[in-house]
Amino acid sequence: MLIKLMKYEFKANSRLIISLFGAMIAMSIVNRLLDLLNRAADIEFLFITNNFSHSLSLMLIIATWVTLLFITIQRFNKSVLQKEGYLTHTLPVSTEKIILSRLFVASIWYIIGGIVAILSVVILTNSFNFSDIKPFLNGLFVFENLRTLIELIVCFVLAVFCALLLLYACLSLGMLANSHRALLSFGAFWAISTMMQLLFSITLALMSTVLFRATNWALFPDGIHVALLIMICFLSIFCVIFFLITRNMLRYKLNLR
């Protein structure tokens, strides 16, 4: 059932999101071509156009991310908390699967979005050299680097989950208000994110005093892994907390509009 839910979740926004990603790549290619043309012809008009379209490309990348965020909020709101929720919540599936389907699909879009944005910047700046691939991959598959890379990827995925679950939890908490739901959701977001930052700062401070200052880096080569593992634990705990808030709100306090 989770796969079926994800299938329809993909269908709901795929056309819009794929068009956005396509536009991002297309704009970068146009820029690159203008750049090449400009170098070849050295025409002032092309130089101005090129600068303008470079700015446009960067704006498009930012706009795509803002739109992606807007779509994530809108999709959860519409399909879970508003009228479409009458269908969503009467399907013979668990509340957990409803949340997870939204979470996984949105995360996949964000991860693809990240890859597309990197690709756009690479095309735009021509900062990629194919001859660099082999040494890069050789370096990557050294055990230490690979371990760090896996930890970084886990950290990144958990950070995406955590951010999305925070959004879902805040939107769900908005159901406690009979009116001004958006205001309550925003208030909850502000309060929870401030608290998270505070806890994160305390954790960092503790880490630096207890762990690093007391230990010589030379005697403690695993420092980066310890830091990443602490980060993974920190993000995992918050993911579980936000997931439980969302699940309990949808299960016990559902108030559809």
Partner 1 sequence: MAVLECKGLTKNYGRTCALNGLDITIEQGRIVGLLGPNGSGKSTFIKLCNGLLTPTLGTITINGFKPGIESKKLVSYLPDVTYLADWMRVSDILDFFTDFYVDFDCKKALEMLASLRIEKHQTLRSLSKGNKEKVQLILVMARSALLYLLDEPIGGVDPAARDYILSTIIKNRNHNASIIISTHLISDIEQVLDDVIILKEGKVILSEDINVLREKTGTSVDAYFREVFRC
87 in contact with partner 1 (CB under 8 A): yes
Tokens of 48: 């101005």
Among 40, 90, 130, 141, indicate the residue that binds partner 1 (CB under 8 A): 90
86 in contact with partner 1 (CB under 8 A): yes
1 in contact with partner 1 (CB under 8 A): yes
Among 78, 212, 224, 226, indicate the residue that binds partner 1 (CB under 8 A): 78
CA distances from 133 to 109, 130, 232 (A): 26, 6, 29
The backbone region for 42, taken as left when phi is positive above 0, alpha when psi lies in -120 to 50, beta otherwise, is left
Residue 161: which of 112, 100, 228 has the closest Cα? Answer: 100
Choice between 127 and 178, CB closer to partner 1:
178
Distance CA 113, CA 211 (A): 36
Measured from the CB of residue 83, what is the shortest distance to partner 1 in angstroms? 5
Pick the stretch among 3-11, 56-64, 148-156, 210-218 that binds partner 1 (CB under 8 A).
3-11
Among 46, 89, 107, 151, indicate the residue that binds partner 1 (CB under 8 A): 89
Dihedral pair phi/psi, residue 160, rounded to 5°: -65, -45
What is the rounded end-to-end Cα distance, in angstroms, of the chain? 25
180 in contact with partner 1 (CB under 8 A): no
Measured from the CB of residue 222, what is the shortest distance to partner 1 in angstroms? 45
179 in contact with partner 1 (CB under 8 A): no
Pick the stretch among 54-62, 76-84, 188-196, 222-230 that binds partner 1 (CB under 8 A).
76-84
| Residues contributing to the site for partner 1 (CB under 8 A) | 1, 4, 7-8, 11-12, 78-79, 83-87, 89-94, 251-256
